[in-house]
Amino acid sequence: MELPPLTIPPLAEVKSRFQLFDYIDGERIRPSVEMGGWVRNPNTGEAITPQLATSPENVARALATAQRVHEAGDWARLPAGERADRLDAAADALMPLTPLIAAVESYHTGMVISLTNFVNAIVWLAFKGAAGVLRSGHAQSVAPGPLGEVEIWRKPLGTAVAIVPWNSPAALAAHKVANALAAGAPVILKPSEWAPYSCLFLAEGLEQVGLPRGLFQIVNGGTAVGQQLVTDRRVRAVSFTGGLQGGRAVAAACAHDFKAMQLELGGNNAMIVLEDADIGKTAEGIVAGLTTLNGQWCRALGRLLVHESIAGEVLEAALARLQHVRLGDSLSPESSMGPLANEEHRRRIGTAVSHLEACGGQKHAPTPLPDLPGHFFPPTLITGVAPEETLEEIFGPAATLHTFRDEAEAVRLANQTPYGLGGYVFSRDEARALAVARQMNTGGVKINGVSLLELNVDAPRPAWGLSGFGEEGTLETFNVFCGRSVVGVAGR
Ligand code: NAD
């Protein structure tokens, strides 16, 4: 995909977008519950706005509205082509907002503008993709039967709920919302209490295309609001991206009345470096794996597994490159890495690294820190810790390095964690790397690269083990919101 040119809107325009609203039954309402914390500029620590949550009464109103929209069925009954036209129109309305969405997101999540500008193209592309699913005929097909053809419909299960975290929130939200709408379902979005602002642009884009009132809604807040949504019996499908604890709570709520669900959780992703790997390319991959999304990336590098014969050389090359990482203000186009999302999270990462040091680890973090008071944490490699001590996700720019003697040991170490989201193999011998990759029990493995672009944008993005439940992807996410219904004539 061609990168859009980097244009940064004036700061005053960016700051003017920090007005939180719920979007309920077509109305913008200021959330009324003070959560006690602040959304801050992670570059400076300055408070931007208080964290606010939707009142339980207004969450209940959003749920009742969604149920009304579902029961009315006007949107679900529209022919697939017409729904696709509206989603295309939404994409067109959202596309010009991309630079502003990107800047707002950088300003309060700390993700660097060069990345948010690129990643947030997904916001409008998600609507194009969902329109494409409808146009492909995926929602309705026929199959032969002994008594004639049977129809197979994919119909909305009912109200859908989309819950997103604070890393890359707008793109994650758009993917869920676009597919729920394509499926014909009313959808309630709950952004993260740490990063709600870039998600609000979805209301602006969708308002322009004339959807039924209340079809798309937003409520705000944290766990309590999330729980009110996912425990409501009228909600029939939940798409959740977040951490393991939240995922478990959502799964428990969905189990009660068998809601459809999609859980995209964390990872502790292994990178296997075979002894014939290109050292320079590997070092670049390590740096990208540690610094992309400031290391707060579900497919970030977690465990670096290097053949013992080249471990010193790989570490040296990676540390040399880490010295040149431009850790700085997330709104500067010069920065290649920004601060962590919030102070609490920085403390959490610091504690995780200190724990590894207490387990005998040695910390390597040569990246210079900027002269800014924000929540900065340098990309860090830790050597000398037993693999058994490094099974959990850190969700920050810190990875451990372990050595292996042969491929079998490398694969064993890669498959040792309870997670299975991403994986990487570096080797000059592609066939050999592919053979190793095929043995890794994880949703996807890339050879000689860690790019954010998927190998194939339409391929599923599965999650194994504690990394989630179900798969994400163009068709896969659409399917979460649908039940299939087979209709045929018994005899003629
Ligand atoms: P989190 O689980 O704390 O919060 C995520 C969202 O869920 C927020 O909106 C939060 O308010 C809500 N939430 C939390 N607990 C809930 C509950 N019990 N019921 C309902 N809603 C609840 O996660 P986070 O700290 O915001 O994000 C970091 C995590 O997200 C990491 O573990 C990361 O790996 C994961 N993540 C996964 C993917 C993926 O595609 N697999 C992508 C991005 C992030």
Q: Look at residue 1 and tell me whether its pLDDT is greater than 60.
A: no
Q: Which of 298, 393, 471, 472 is catalytic?
A: 298
For residue 298 and ligand 1, the question of a CB distance below 6 A is answered with yes
pLDDT value for 459: 85
How far is Cα 58 from Cα 22, in angstroms, rounded to an integer? 9
Pocket test for ligand 1, best of 163, 262, 392 (most atoms within 8 A of CB): 163
298 is catalytic: yes
Reduced to 3 states (helix: H, G, I; strand: E, B; else coil), residue 461 is: strand
Which amino acid residue places its CA nearest to atom 32 of ligand 1?
A: 243
Choose one of 161, 176, 223 to mutate for the ligand 1 pocket test, by most ligand atoms within 8 angstroms of C-beta.
223
With pLDDT > 90 as the criterion, what percentage of the chain qualifies?
Answer: 94
In angstroms, rounded to a whole number, what is the distance separating the alpha carbons of residues 177 and 241? 13
Tens digits of residue pLDDT in 307-343: 999 999 999 999 999 999 999 999 999 999 999 999 9
DSSP 8-state symbol, 266: -
Lowest-pLDDT choice from 143-152, 249-258, 461-470 = 143-152
- Which amino acid residue places its CA nearest to atom 40 of ligand 1? 264
**424 and 450 in contact (C-beta within 8 Å)?**
yes
pTM above 0.95, yes or no: yes
Identify any residues that bridge with 383 across adjacent strands, giving them in sequence order: 362, 401
Top mutation candidate among 298, 301, 392 for ligand 1, by most atoms within 8 Å of CB: 298
Asked if residue 226 has its Cβ within 6 Å of ligand 1, the reply is yes
* Distance (Å) of CA 357 to CA 70, 455, 462: 54, 36, 33
What is the rounded CA–CA span in Å between residue 82 and residue 64?
26
**221: part of which helix (H) or strand (E)?**
none
Residue nearest to atom 26 of ligand 1 (CA): 165
User: What tens digit of pLDDT does each residue of 209-237 get?
Assistant: 999 999 999 999 999 999 999 999 999 99
Confidence of residue 2 (pLDDT cuts 50, 70, 90): low
Q: Which of 193, 264, 284, 471 is catalytic?
A: 264
Q: What are phi and psi of 444, to 5 degrees?
A: -165, 145
pLDDT tens column, 29-86? 999 999 999 999 999 999 999 999 999 999 999 999 999 999 999 999 999 999 999 9
